[in-house]
Amino acid sequence: MKTPAKLPLSGLPLTLFLGLGGAFVCLKVWEGLGVMPRLITSYADDFLCLPLVLTGVLLAHRLASGGQARTLPLSHGLAALAAFSLYFEGILPRLSSRVTADPWDVAMYVLGFLVFQAVINRAVAGTSPGFIMADDLQIPPSAKGKSIGHV
């Protein structure tokens, strides 16, 4: 009998992801209706942005590698944090008058990244990491600088 395939996200990470996604949709609706002050929605957008985008990246990695135990390397998350901060707070405000730079937005990005890293970026229990990617390969210090033969 075939065992049912595990979802790429489950438990607390799935609950939090759905909660954040739901909150984002509600904020956009309230913003459209003019119920919620723009100040709150703009900071909330920045807070929700990285957990939602990085979860998308994590899901893509899990679907691509076929392993639900896979987690997104810290370097990928930090690169996303740097890219979003530089682009939306450094570059875009210079190109468009509709966008303003605000250091508190960067703080919201950092907060969102920490939530993703602490809660969502966890392996699904009892699953395999899938096939090995280059980032998983650890070269022992004793082997560094040594030839591995002709390839």
Partner 1 sequence: MGRLLLLWGKKSHLKGSPMKNVARSGWLLTLLILGGAMVLITALNM
Q: Which residues bind partner 1 (CB under 8 A)?
A: 49, 53, 56-57, 60-61, 63-66, 72-73, 76, 79-80, 83-84, 87-88, 92, 96, 98-99, 131, 133-135, 151
The span from the CA of 102 to the CA of 93, in Å, is 10
Nearer to partner 1, 16 or 80 (CB): 80
* Dihedral sign from CA coordinates of 67, 73, 76, 82: positive
Nearer to partner 1, 1 or 21 (CB): 21
Q: How far is the CB of 14 from partner 1 (least distance, A)?
A: 19
Nearer to partner 1, 18 or 63 (CB): 63
Q: How far is the CB of 96 from partner 1 (least distance, A)?
A: 7
**What is the enclosing helix (H) or strand (E) of 17?**
helix 11-33
Quote the DSSP letter at residue 148.
-
Q: How far is the CB of 123 from partner 1 (least distance, A)?
A: 15
Nearer to partner 1, 1 or 146 (CB): 146
| Cβ atoms of residues 121 and 51 within 8 Å | no
Nearer to partner 1, 1 or 97 (CB): 97
Q: How far is the CB of 118 from partner 1 (least distance, A)?
A: 19
Q: How far is the CB of 80 from partner 1 (least distance, A)?
A: 5
**What is the enclosing helix (H) or strand (E) of 15?**
helix 11-33
Among residues 12, 44, 23, 19, which one has the least CA distance to residue 118? 12
Among residues 50, 42, 40, which one has the least CA distance to residue 20? 50
